[in-house]
Structure 1
């Protein structure tokens, strides 16, 4: 019998991952706070769509208020809620995790620090997610990419441990492209660069994930944002690898006026080869008039930039656009980028 897994957050990533693990025969319970979604899965199973295909899985979804009925604790808890919900979600699940169990951060941004502060660094693993997914209606999750790389799992200190190898094996049974990493922080910052380039601009403009990578209206801003994230991450001492196949240094070079066409060729390839055509999670939140994760993406980079002395004017400006609109009030439109675009003239 394999490990018993609990997932807090059964939307796009939590739902897709939990559903595929269930399909592979693992013992998975998914806890979610959207009653209609839970009810739909209980009634009809979880529908997973990917690459024009569709499967239905008898995923074990429960509402948060049903968590009290759990008697058999989990070996692992995957935290797949929004960044701003990290602390309470981790504490909620603590009672239902075995004493020697571990949390696994499945979120956007870099919440590993906060998770470690909440439940102890020795109890926390990280998983860098490189798939794209959506959950637009109850009972259905979509995987909206064709990336061969899906999950990178590691310890916060980079060590190679039995538990991280077990998780790699478990998730590999449900999804190809799952790997161990001894450079969790570097991988986190690489993913953060992607999130900071794609997510806020998708939410601000309404563009889909592929268009944010290639649309001329956002291209130069995207490059500057990516370069800021990479510079800050490097200033903190992290080794930042490729951003879904594109070398990190290419963004820095292009932001400084070097080899711009080379980067655009690579970004066009990425948009085509990854098959990412859906709505970024940030845009999904904007459409639903929900709070966004801006403070934990570009806002986090701005904060770390101040600590390291690395300027982050483009990240600062994107945060300002979202803040000025107010929670749940941002209406996506490319014209929203006008204040950010003025920085390109400097």
Structure 2
């Protein structure tokens, strides 16, 4: 329902790749008013012809959905009450500029993304229309119109938080919607929650992509567990320098440890246990296999930038960024032997 009148909320998902399409399909099946806005032409055509198919571990679903290409946004005369932004972190600002004219005056943009994108969203639509979010759910998409989701409802997790505290009740309403797709917490400190998730991502996403391996295999390569945890420890230092507090994520109880590195280990192990399947490919590796650039600078690069601003070094994350950018430039292949470029380096 809309915030005031009780009628149906109009919802858009902007960016309907593996994650956005999967969550959006849950909303459609729940009977919500949903529009997909997508930039991949073949994916748009496939969803118009056959709907969106989501393959889950023990079932498959298919949902018909109104689907628009990005170029059609300028043709819209309606506005949306909620826009779920599920694009790459580096696409945040321009995408917000694209959709701002179709966001209702009291509408909200929910950034379901990696990285610290809150400020980019708010810089376009304002704090009063920005909702921060963080989530953990493994999916992949290589065929237009089909997403493969490796976490069903009970092992998918979201947290939401208002940038403007006056939106707390509306964020609770959005949480109710997201519970169609997974477990949901509402956070009073979403910036800290996003930093806690970035810590996990810094440890896992880019390092495993550099090795061109599923995360579960990459972490077993000699020395890589130490590299990944060290990247996470640096990320925790960056988070705390930026003012973040240690807050529980992933549905975990509050930590009993005062040791920041111990908490990094706890969330690292929780992701490995609950959210990563044996064949789960990090989103960065999926992007590379599709010929796209990954969110290297928005994850490990954010750690480097934050620590450098404080006059501190981030040797492990700096090395990860260096190797990852070499791969993206074509100067180095992504392969398991790259572990020798990371293990024992930069520390």
The alignment's TM-score, normalised by the length of structure 1, stands at 0.89
Q: Retained in 2: the 8 A contact 1:291–1:327? A: no
In structure 2, the partner of 1:78 is 84
SS in 2 for 1:342: coil
State the shift of 1:340 in Å.
2.3
Q: Distance in 2 between matches of 1:130 and 1:159?
A: 26
1:140 aligns with 2:146: yes
Q: How many residues align?
A: 336
State the shift of 1:334 in Å.
2.0
**1:252-331 map, 5 Å:** 252-253=261-262, 263=265, 270-276=271-277, 277-327=279-329, 331=333
Q: Distance in 1 between matches of 2:193 and 2:231?
A: 17
SS in 2 for 1:279: coil
Q: Retained in 1: the 8 A contact 2:16–2:86? A: yes
Q: Distance in 1 between matches of 2:258 and 2:214?
A: 25
Q: Distance in 1 between matches of 2:17 and 2:29?
A: 17
Alignment gaps of 5+ in structure 2: 1-6
RMSD: 2.5
Q: Distance in 1 between matches of 2:137 and 2:260?
A: 21
State the shift of 1:135 in Å.
1.2
Q: Distance in 2 between matches of 1:311 and 1:138?
A: 42
Q: Retained in 2: the 8 A contact 1:128–1:188? A: yes
In structure 1, the partner of 2:178 is 171
In structure 2, the partner of 1:258 is none
In structure 1, the partner of 2:100 is 94
CA deviation digits over 1:317-342, x for unaligned, max 9?
11111223344665321222323223
**1:155-194 map, 5 Å:** 155-157=162-164, 161-172=168-179, 174-194=180-200
In structure 2, the partner of 1:20 is 26
SS in 2 for 1:304: helix
Provide closer, same or farther for how the CA distance between residues 273 and 117 of structure 1 changes in structure 2, counting only shifts above 3 A: closer
Alignment gaps of 5+ in structure 1: 256-262
Provide closer, same or farther for how the CA distance between residues 166 and 268 of structure 1 changes in structure 2, counting only shifts above 3 A: closer
SS in 2 for 1:343: coil
Moved more, 131-140 or 324-333: 324-333
